[in-house]
Amino acid sequence: MPPPDDQHHHHHGRDHEHGQAPPSDMALRVKALESLLVEKGLVDPAALDAIIDTYEHKVGPRNGARVVARAWTDPGFRQRLLADATAAILELGCDGGLEGRFLVAVENTPEAHNLVVCTLCSCYPWAVLGLPPVWYKSPPYRSRAVIDPRGVLAEFGVTLPDDVEVRVWDSTAEIRYMVVPERPPGTDGWTEEALAALVTRDSMIGVGLALAPETAA
Amino acid sequence: MNGAHDMGGMHGLGPILPEPDEPVFHAPWEARVLALTVTGFGWRRWTVDRWRHQHEKIPGADYLRMSYYEKWATSLAGLMVEAGLATRAEVEPAWPAIAAPQTAPEVFAGEPAATPSFKVGDRVRTRNINPSGHTRLPRYARGHAGVVTRLHGAHVLPDASAHDRGDRRQPLYQVRFEAAELWGLDARGRGAVHLDLWEDYLDRA
């Protein structure tokens, strides 16, 4: 595992690999924009801090993991989730907010595997997963997920048998999609909380599977 | 708009690079951009569709080079100028790359419609439209046949909303396209792609 500074450097190198060096003054340029808006009375810096706190600490894939764990343990909830996920997640206190007024949950089965993408921009179910990772928003994933989903899945370490159908969901409208991964074997009798720890962000995008019980220990 | 953003099905855009233990933001300025953007929607001067179209108007080479939050900041600066919240002179020193205003984009803007023409199980074909304005019917899915799998109710047509033509609600359908229908002989294995498409994007097949 590289130290955090290396990761940071790596990220910038990746974003700008096709062009010139990253603008070293990005922080200053954004500060200029913020100052202009504060000067015009359109923005209160303290309110910005509160928004950042929400997205950094309050939304995230732990919300989605609770939804999946509930669906695994409560057949009635699973049915409600698959029929109307927008209403079902409210039962667990997940509010769609800006991105997620309309949510659809799609379920993996032995016959079908689901994969979520937004080819045109970066639509992502913020209500259950928080903000998307950089790779999800980047051209390589957006371009290939629809034409070569099996190749993309293999790169993430997921190899599916030929008879499993891959269903890709391209988020072209205000409907957001989340995947309900298959419950791992060997988890009979587990509590919802223990099960939720097996549900990764990637498994709810569809590029991963839920963790095996021994991996999570 | 047939822009660089409409990249579904393209090859050659590089490897997918997941980052282990990725932080929510990679630098404090990214978080400020997110918060400014969220705040900006509260001013009610532009719709989410117009905001998305603003990204699309970033010149293609820049669009592919810029990071996600750099595009967001560029779009916010551009929208502030277009909406009259700031002058070009105020914004340009820090944000010179704001998109040139588009003169008279071709808008694919139908009329509001309340009653769905299609039901689950109906075969439909997407229209072959190529507007220079905003649309959410990607190139790879135009002129193809699929099956309606779900009705989502009536939703604002983004093609109109992005160009300030108002909230024209139309039935929105989830449509399933077989991989072989979209990619022909290059479809790999059993599969399908689903898209959410408005009434005016579809004909009966």
Which residue segment(s) compose the domain that A35 sits in? Answer: 26-58
pLDDT band at A14 (very low <50, low <70, confident <90, very high): very low
A4, part of any domain: no
pLDDT band at A97 (very low <50, low <70, confident <90, very high): low
A168 in B contact zone (CB under 8 Å): yes
Count chain A–chain B contacts defined by CB atoms under 8 A.
226
Same domain, A77 and A44: no
Q: State in words which class domain B123-204 has.
A: mainly beta
Q: Based on the structure, what is the number of domains in chain A?
A: 2
Contacts of B35 in chain A (CB under 8 A): 47-49, 51-52
Structure confidence by residue, pLDDT tens digits, A103-124? 999 999 999 999 999 999 999 9
Which residue from A174, A168, A159 is spatially nearest to A141, judged by alpha carbons? A168
Query: A134 vs B193: CB contact, 8 Å cut-off?
Result: no
A148, part of any domain: yes
Residue A3 has pLDDT above 90, yes or no: no
Provide the pLDDT for residue A42: 96
Provide the pLDDT for residue A4: 36
pLDDT band at B189 (very low <50, low <70, confident <90, very high): confident
Same domain, A42 and A97: no
Is ipTM strictly over 0.85?
yes
The CATH classification of domain B1-103, taken from the options 1.10.472.20, 3.40.190.10, 3.30.70.1350, 1.10.760.10: 1.10.472.20
pLDDT band at B116 (very low <50, low <70, confident <90, very high): very high
Same domain, A106 and A168: yes
Least confident of A15-19, A189-193, A200-204: A15-19
Residue A22 has pLDDT above 80, yes or no: no
- When the pLDDT of each residue in chain B is averaged and rounded to a whole number, the result is 94
A172, part of any domain: yes
Provide the pLDDT for residue A198: 98
* Percentage of residues in chain A having pLDDT higher than 70: 85
What is the pLDDT averaged over residues B160-169?
93
A156, part of any domain: yes
The angle formed by the CA atoms of residues B108, B113 and B119, to the nearest 5 degrees, is 105
The size of chain B, in residues, is: 205
Same domain, A36 and A98: no
A112 in B contact zone (CB under 8 Å): no
Residue A9 has pLDDT above 60, yes or no: no
Interface test with B, best of A40, A172, A175 (most B CBs within 10 A): A172
Write out the residue limits of the CATH 2.30.30.50 domain(s) in chain B.
123-204
Same domain, A78 and A157: yes
Same domain, A39 and A114: no
CATH number at residue A124: 3.90.330.10
Write out the residue limits of the CATH 1.10.472.20 domain(s) in chain B.
1-103
A136, part of any domain: yes
How far CA B13 is from CA of A23, A120, A207, B111, in Å, comes to 22, 14, 19, 37
What are the residue numbers of the active site of A? 118, 121-123
Least confident of A2-11, B76-85, B103-112, B160-169: A2-11
Same domain, A97 and A33: no
Structure confidence by residue, pLDDT tens digits, B18-51? 999 999 999 999 999 999 999 999 999 999 999 9
Same domain, A138 and A172: yes
Same domain, A73 and A180: yes
A5, part of any domain: no
Q: Are A18 and B65 in contact (CB under 8 A)?
A: yes
Same domain, A147 and A169: yes
Question: Of A40, A58, A76, which closes a domain?
Answer: A58
Structure confidence by residue, pLDDT tens digits, B136-163? 999 999 999 999 999 999 999 999 999 9
pLDDT band at A98 (very low <50, low <70, confident <90, very high): low
Provide the pLDDT for residue B107: 84
Same domain, A89 and A47: no
pLDDT band at A99 (very low <50, low <70, confident <90, very high): low
Provide the pLDDT for residue B188: 83
A16 in B contact zone (CB under 8 Å): yes
Which residue from A174, A178, A172 is spatially nearest to A118, judged by alpha carbons? A172
Answer positive or negative: Cα dihedral of A58, A59, A62, A67. positive
* Percentage of residues in chain B having pLDDT higher than 90: 86
A143, part of any domain: yes
HEC assignment per residue over chain A: CCCHHHHHHHHHHHHCCCCCCCCCCHHHHHHHHHHHHHHCCCCCHHHHHHHHHHHHHHCCHHHHHHHHHHHHHCHHHHHHHHHCHHHHHHCCCCCCCCCCCEEEEEECCCCEEEEEECCCCCCCCHHHHCCCCHHHHCHHHHHHHHHCHHHHHHHCCCCCCCCCEEEEEECCCCEEEEEECCCCCCCCCCCHHHHHCCCCHHHHHCCCCCCCHHHHC
Same domain, A136 and A30: no
Provide the pLDDT for residue B119: 98
